[in-house]
Structure 1
Amino acid sequence: MIQKSILLFFILFAFNCNAQTMETVSKLKASYQKCVDSGSGMKNCAIEYYNESDSLMNVAYRNLKLKLSSKEQSKLKKEQLDWIKKRDLYFEKVYSDTKKEGHFVEGSSDFDMVVFDEKANYIFARVKELIKKL
């Protein structure tokens, strides 16, 4: 857990130093895949991946906002609020669809892993959008 916190700190530091690249996102995905491939604590891997995606999105959003005029900031804020509404609907759909598929027992580690994985991937798509605007 401490190693992941240190990794997240360095990632956030890199983002604050304007080192926002798709390579950073790719490295996080590779780290997540390595964690999942270990076969141990996969639910925790997915939760950490989700938390990292959310943190990166917040950093990318703040960095982008700093580069914009007041008018552009207002536009970005509206865009982000609209995205959050879509995100919430998507998250509900992911949970519902995973439940309907019946491959996993609701509330099990496997079920939670699938849900957090899907949520993280959705957020990482937004991170990529924000980085491209930087």
Structure 2
Amino acid sequence: MKKSLLVFFMLFAFHCNSQTLETVSKLKTSYQHCLDTGVGMRNCSVEYYNQSDSLLNVTYKNLKLKLSSKEQSKLKKEQLDWIKKRDLYFEKVYSDTKKEGNFSEGSLDFDMVVYDEKANYVFGRVKELIRRI
């Protein structure tokens, strides 16, 4: 329940055009603090990824609102192309992590590494979109 409320308030804050590069930095700091506790580190990574995805959706919508119809169509095509690249990148992250052999596939550490890489990739796109708002 607490996580649901936290996500709601975060999304509300982001929806109010408060997303900035500072927001991304604060989420990264919060994530690092969670990891530093050494407890539930996989959950920290999953939450970090979910935050990146939520912020991406809100940022995309806010940018879209500021564009003309023609620019919105261009942005949509760009985003669909990015999603294809993202999916390929996510597959590569998974296979590379598996090949490295540092963690057993499906282990909590394996998942943590994969979610961390996914989140960082998505936050890269979030930063690109924020700079355009």
Q: Same fold (TM over 0.5)?
A: yes
1:37 matched to which residue of 2? 36
Deviations 1:3-38 (A, max 9, x none): 433332222222211112111111111111111110
TM-score under structure 2 length normalisation: 0.96
2:60 matched to which residue of 1? 61
For 2:20 and 2:76, the matched residues in 1 are separated by 22
| Ranges in structure 2 where 5+ consecutive residues have no aligned partner | none
Compute the displacement of 1:99 (Å): 0.3
Q: Secondary structure at the match of 1:106?
A: coil
For 2:7 and 2:25, the matched residues in 1 are separated by 14
For 1:117 and 1:4, the matched residues in 2 are separated by 19
1:72 counterpart letter in structure 2: E
| Ranges in structure 1 where 5+ consecutive residues have no aligned partner | none
For 2:115 and 2:94, the matched residues in 1 are separated by 9
Identity, in percent, stands at 78
In angstroms, what is the RMSD of aligned CA positions? 1.0
CA contact (8 A) 1:11 1:24 kept: no
1:99 counterpart letter in structure 2: K
For 1:8 and 1:37, the matched residues in 2 are separated by 21
TM-score under structure 1 length normalisation: 0.95
